[in-house]
Chain A
Amino acid sequence: MLRLEALSAGYGPLQVLFGVDLEVAAGEVVTLMGRNGMGKTTTIRAILRLLKPSGGRILFDGREVTGLPSHRMARLGIALVPEGRQVFPTLTVRENLVATARPPLAEGTAWDLDAVYGLFPRLRERSGQYARTLSGGEQQMLAIGRALMTNPRLLILDEATEGLAPRIRAEIWACFRRLKAAGLTILIVDKNLKELTAFADRHSVMEKGRIVWQGDAAALAADRERLLGLLSV
């Protein structure tokens, strides 16, 4: 579905990505792991053109989409749950969900307010509240719900369980498993190796702006020593 070929990007004179190759097939869950500053979030920003790539290609459904503006990338069917949640603080919970909502591109089960409230009943209770008054966990649920309301084909999750209490974290992981079971394609950045191993189909590890390791759960178990070295500080 999504394919990056030798993608490079950076901030001004500072190059961060040095030729990232990555593929996410339809229905697959792929991880992007690596220590802080290795280029995970930058890769995501480059995919959605929140950052202009300096080289390489992006393909979606086999079609080259490099250079499309952010909103057109999103309208291909990509939705982002950004690092740090970034809900709209001055909008109510309901408004956060409705503001950027879109019907699905193809027929199938559609996410609407009721479906999101079904997934996160707590958001229904808080629907009239301003998003800035929510707890961190509730804001995370809202950011996920907001992305689902665009009815994406590919969901990109950037550190979606970071800084949450264990109970909330478990709730979020349960939600991800339901999304996977429903067939949603997911690209996920997270630090929790144990949860990721159980959850994802394939894994990729970044170091210094490149993908340096890729493989499935079995390969990950076999190569555990080396990977722990790549992932820990």
Chain B
Amino acid sequence: MPALLFVEQVLNGLQFGVMLFLMAAGLTLVFGIMRLINLAHGSFYMVGAYLCALAAGASGSFLLGLLAGLAGAALVGAAVEFLVIRRLYDRDHLDQVLATFGLILFFNELVKILFGPRPLLLDPPALLSGAVELLPGLPYPAYRLAIIGVGIAVALGLYLLIRHSRLGMIIRAGATHREIVAALGVNIRLVYTLVFGLGALLAGLAGAMIGPLLSVQIGMGEEILILTFVVIVIGGIGSIKGALVGALLVGVTDTLARVLLPLAFGAFLEPSAAAGVAASLASMMIYIVMALVLVWRPHGLFPAEGA
């Protein structure tokens, strides 16, 4: 396999990993701090994608679409927290899973009623529609590079927020001593709403950015949700650093496995058998990685302190 193709696939893996990180960051914060399992996290991804596609289609500007997707996902997230999620913090995980599964059905049906069952199309912004020649002979889509850049910027921003801001201190303190934080004068319920809204915003960002690469359709959130859970389990629940490392690991592993395994099996099996075995194994790869990580570190790569 030529080296350039390998580099290109690693970049594809990183871009996929960044998408997973944007999803995983919110999910792991909500789980780590509020101890809430939110299956409806993928719905915010869908909301972001739909609002971006609709607003971009109507205005002709991808940037406006992106802003609409971000604002819409954050608002929907905060509203869902206020109306539904708040009642679930003190209940057990089964209730949380059932209620948030109900939210998935609700949002999927709502989108179908409002926008119909047909997928929407979203064009990448004109500015980023071309390719960048990274190395001689290796052109790479500018849009995918931009996604990687956004992901790195978000990771850095989250690090600064959680590690170095007052809000971040309160978020970390609230993860272990919610009552004491409240008794010292912090409106912890408002903090929870903010954290949940921030998680929804990041999911909306992922959804809006993936629009031009995949089709914007009902149920798109559930496909990525499963992988997102794999990411946060690998990374260590509650850890942003773990979410980043886990997401990149899953993204690169999944992408490379789909490209490399058929080549590897093709070396000693006949082509049709090789393709079949490789495809099955490739789709299992991330779960194998998860199992290995958990054998090595049962609480994930970076278990959140205090969790």
Q: Show the binding face of A for B, using Cβ within 8 Å.
A: 48, 50, 69-71, 73-75, 79-80, 82, 86, 88-91, 95-96, 98-100, 102, 130, 132, 146-147, 150
Contact = CB atoms under 8 A, between A and B. Distances in A.
A100 B306 contact: no
Interface string B167-193: 001101101110111111111100000
22 contacts: A50-B183, A71-B182, A71-B183, A73-B183, A75-B185, A79-B184, A80-B183, A88-B176, A88-B177, A89-B176, A89-B305, A89-B306, A90-B173, A91-B169, A91-B172, A95-B173, A99-B181, A100-B173, A100-B181, A130-B305, A150-B184, A150-B185
B166 interface: yes
Secondary structure at chain A's binding surface: helix, strand, loop or mixed? Answer: mixed
Contacts of B187: 69, 71
A90 B175 contact: yes
Top 6 A-B pairs ranked by shortest CB distance? A74-B185, A99-B169, A100-B184, A70-B182, A88-B173, A90-B306
A100 B179 contact: no
Interface string B18-32: 000000000000000
Interface in B151-174: 166, 169-170, 172-173
Interface of B: 166, 169-170, 172-173, 175-177, 179-188, 305-306
A71 B186 contact: yes
Given A88-B177, A89-B305, A98-B166, 6 more contacts: A75-B185, A80-B184, A89-B306, A95-B169, A99-B181, A150-B185
Contacts of A102: 185
Given A89-B306, A90-B306, A99 B180 contact: no
Given A70-B179, A99-B166, A91 B184 contact: no
Contacts of A91: 169, 172-173
Contact of B184 (A69, A74, A95): A74
Contact of A69 (B169, B182, B305): B182
Contact of A50 (B169, B172, B179): B179
Contacts of A80: 180, 183-184
Given A90-B305, A100-B173, A147 B179 contact: no
A151 to B, nearest CB: 10
A150 B170 CA distance: 14
Contacts of A146: 184
Contacts of A98: 166, 169
B183 A70 contact: yes
Contacts of A79: 184-185
A99 B185 CA distance: 11
A74 B176 contact: no
B171 to A, nearest CB: 9
Nearest to B190: A71
Nearest to A149: B184
Nearest to A77: B185
Contacts of B182: 50, 69-71, 74
Contact of A90 (B176, B180, B181, B188): B176
